[in-house]
Every structure is written in C-alpha cells, then in structure tokens.
Amino acid sequence: MGASSPIIEVHSLSKLYRLGELRRRRIVSRLARPIRRYLGRQSRAPRPDARDLWALRDMTFDVSQGEVVGLVGSNGAGKSTLLKILSRVTEPTEGHAIVRGRVQSLLEVGTGFHNELTGRENIFLKGAIHGMSRQDVQQSFDAIVAFADVERFLDTPFKRWSSGMRVRLGFAVAALLPHDILVVDEVLAVGDARFRRKALDHVRQLAQHDGTTVLFVSHDLDQIRAVCPRVIQLDAGRIVADGETEEVLAGYLQPDVAAHDQVVDLTGDLTHSTKPFIRRIELVVEGGSTASLPTGAPLTALIDVENTTALPDVDVYVEIESLSGARVLRTRASHLGVAASQTGDGSQRFRCTLASLPLVPGTYWVNAGLTRSYQAGDRRAKALVEVDRKLRLTITDADVFGAGEPFTERDGLVWTPAAWRAE
C-alpha cells in the first residue's frame, strides 16, 4: 500500500432503495431478473420509479490512514447506508469505493451475540462473525474482557447480563480485534457515561498510536468534537460539507430559516394584542453594523416592549444560546432592579448592555423574552413571550490578550479576562 494513497476512496457512490410494499409482479420480475440477465434480455441498471429513494447520491470523498472522520446529518441523510456499503453489507447501485485494509464494523453492538450462550462463548462467536480466526480472538481475549470489565460474568448466560454489560462487550470485541478501519454507527449512544468516555478515549488512541482509520457516526456532537478532527455532513444522501470539525458543525447547526443579524421586527404579528409583547429587538454594535464581534467585545440589545401596563409584573430578559441549544448566559432586568413602568402608554424601550462577551468564537443566538416577575416560592418565572433563534451573533477569533495569539474555540467553553505574570 503506497503511503500516499488514501485508505478509503469513495467515487460517486449512489444507493437506490425501492420503497413501498413489495408487489407481486415486482417480486416475480426481480426474481426472474438473474434469469433474464443470463439470457441477455435486461440491462443491469434498475429502472427508476416514483417510489424510489436515493439514500446516497453521487458521493465522493477520500479518507487518509489514521484519520478519524465524523459523519453528521439528520435521520435519513444516508450515514448508515454509507457505513453499510463500506462494510459491504449492502452494495452500491452506482459508483464504487476502494478500501485498503481490514474493516471492522460496529453497526449495532449486539450483533452476533446469542442470549443462551455464555460471555466467553459469545466472544468467540462474535469474533468469528467479524471474520476473525480463533487464534485472533484468543490473542485479544484478555484485553477484550478487561476493557469491557466483565470478568465476573464470563460464564454466565448472556440473557442474564445487563444491557450495559452487553454494550460494553459488543464494543470491546469489535474495537479490540485487529483491523485497519473501524466503522462505528451510533453505538456509543448507550452505555454509562464512564464507559462512553473510555470508549471514546480508545477510539482516539487507536487513531493516534495504531494508525487506525475511524469512521464515526453519532448524533452526540460533543462526542464528534471529542474524537473527530474532520467531519462530513450529509443531507439527503449528498455531502453538504466536509472539513474541519468546528466549521462543519457550525454550518450543520445553522437552520435553514433566514436569521437576522441585527434587527428583528415583530410588529406584524401582534399589533392588536392586549397582552405585553416585544415589538422589536435591535443589537447595537459599537462602530459596526453587523453582529459579528470579537471575543470580549461589548454588546448592547435594545428591546421595545408594548403593553407593559397590561400586567403588573413584567420582566425582560436577554439570553445567549449556543447553536447546539445550550443556554450560555441570561440576564434579566429584575436582576439589576429594573422594572417596567406602570404608567404611560405601555410602550417602553429596555437597553441591555453586556460589557464584555465571554464567548469563544462561533455562532450563537441572541434571544429575548418577557416573563412574569419571580414571586416568592416560584421555581421559575412564567414565560409570556419568547423570541428565540431570531437573532444571530457571530463571534470571531481575536487576539483578546494582545499578545499576538488569538483565542479560539479550542481554548475552552467560555472566555474570561485573565492576568499572567511570571514571578
């Protein structure tokens, strides 16, 4: 194997699935196909049909040896189909892939285990199903058992095992048997947190020390971040993004709806409402017009509220949410002793200034809303209006410490001013 040739080459791979109930005529014609083909009466390519689904369409990419590549995409994007084709479980309809090395696939952890067999018997059985000889399995046996932490249950029938133990053993068998390429489909969504961490560490280590190539499907983006320097995003069977993890994930989490960068005007929806509502939100950026700021910059939000007098205890908040849905911070007017006026026409503007955004580079949402004020004994304030995911804020790399080195998303979850001195 030449050192330069990629370990996996995928060339315009496509996969067609025929949907719908199998109709009698179709089954007959399908079963007769080999005979007709033998007689030279039918071309090899299947005819298109309205009920066909292209699970993969014209997909091309390369993976180099030792790379750990994450695959993301919504359900039905084609992730599992791709892994199944690379594991040779199902064949592509068009295109081809070249795989240079032994593939170990873990499409579901329980595959190959039998409930009536003991743990020991199951390890050998699953090893054989994964194409390993008895000696291969024998050599890895102790490591597998130790990794899965199941010594005590080796001679217990599998049906008496807890589901966590089964998952651990399933992962351990596939991951510890010799291979060049490991294909993992969403199997680390189960199992306890400690084992998940151990498994992720193992995957990372496989790539770093053994040169194993890993294809990793997960809906848990933190897992993807933890192990994959590169991510391929699929949508409807096509590659929509392929590149450095944070960049791809930022695009992946960006919803399709047009988001506003600076002002959101909500007047249209609510003009005749008699309840309090937010008419307009504006982000004011010092010396700029777009909401693209360096880490540590100040941000001001102007919130125009109507009908504040309709209720006696309206409170306003501004919050910053990450694209993966985590609330990074929230500040409420009442925290600072500011309350809506109870007199006048009920129109009021609130100005919220965050002196220094502690955000690492990336994209965020700026949300605002109205709640009832906290009453003594309340667990949480009752929400009145939530303007969520309408305003987008982009934080860029910046040399916040002025030492010539930017603060990036790899430096943590938040930023804080810091002082260093060598003494």
Partner 1 sequence: MSDDHARTAPLERRIERGGNTRHYWADAWRARALISHLTRRDIVVRYKQTVAGLMWAFVRPFVSMIVFTFVFRSVAQLDSDGDTPYALMVFAGLLPWQLFAGTVSRGASSQVRNSSLITRIYFPRVILVIHEACVAGFDFLVSLLLLALLMLIYAWAPDARLLLLPAFILLAVITGVGLSLWLSALNVHYRDIAYFVPFLLQIGQFISPVGFSSSVIGDDYRLLYALNPLVSVVDGTRWSLLGGQVPLYLPGVILGTSIALVLFFSGLWFFRRVESTFADAI
* Smallest separation (angstroms) from partner 1 to the CB of 168: 18
* Smallest separation (angstroms) from partner 1 to the CB of 235: 22
Contacts of 202 (CB under 8 A, 6+ apart): 147, 175
* CA–CA separation, 183 and 197 (whole Å): 18
Q: Is 1 in the site for partner 1 (CB under 8 A)?
A: yes
Q: For residues 177 and 232, which CB has a smaller minimum distance to partner 1 in the complex?
A: 177
Contacts of 344 (CB under 8 A, 6+ apart): 309
* Smallest separation (angstroms) from partner 1 to the CB of 85: 6
Q: Give the DSSP per-residue string, 343-385.
A: STTS-EEEEEEESS--BPSEEEEEEEEEEEPP-TT-SSPPEEE
List the beta bridge partners of residue 365: 321, 392
* Smallest separation (angstroms) from partner 1 to the CB of 201: 17
Site for partner 1 in 75-134 (CB under 8 A): 84-102, 105, 107-108, 110-112, 114, 116-117, 121, 124-125, 128-134
* Smallest separation (angstroms) from partner 1 to the CB of 121: 7
Q: Is 360 in the site for partner 1 (CB under 8 A)?
A: no
Distance, CA of 208 to chain centre: 22
Kindly state the number of chain residues that form the binding site for partner 1, as judged by CB under 8 A: 55
3-state secondary structure of 308: helix
Site string for partner 1, 11-50 (x = CB under 8 A): ------x----x----x--xx--x--x------x------
Q: For residues 30 and 349, which CB has a smaller minimum distance to partner 1 in the complex?
A: 30
Q: For residues 48 and 337, which CB has a smaller minimum distance to partner 1 in the complex?
A: 48
Q: Is 141 in the site for partner 1 (CB under 8 A)?
A: no
Pair 417, 355: CB distance under 8 Å = no
Q: Is 155 in the site for partner 1 (CB under 8 A)?
A: no
Q: For residues 183 and 301, which CB has a smaller minimum distance to partner 1 in the complex?
A: 183
Long-range contacts (CB closer than 8 Å, 24 or more residues apart) made by 46-52:
46/16, 46/18, 46/93, 49/18, 51/18, 51/19, 51/20, 52/16, 52/17, 52/18, 52/19
Pair 340, 384: CB distance under 8 Å = no
* Smallest separation (angstroms) from partner 1 to the CB of 190: 16
* CA–CA separation, 216 and 204 (whole Å): 11
* Smallest separation (angstroms) from partner 1 to the CB of 34: 4
Pair 361, 409: CB distance under 8 Å = yes
Pair 291, 394: CB distance under 8 Å = yes
Which residue in this structure is represented by tokens 């849905």?
325
Q: For residues 100 and 260, which CB has a smaller minimum distance to partner 1 in the complex?
A: 100
The site for partner 1 (CB under 8 A) is made up of 1, 17, 22, 27, 30-31, 34, 37, 44, 65, 84-102, 105, 107-108, 110-112, 114, 116-117, 121, 124-125, 128-134, 157, 178-180, 209-211
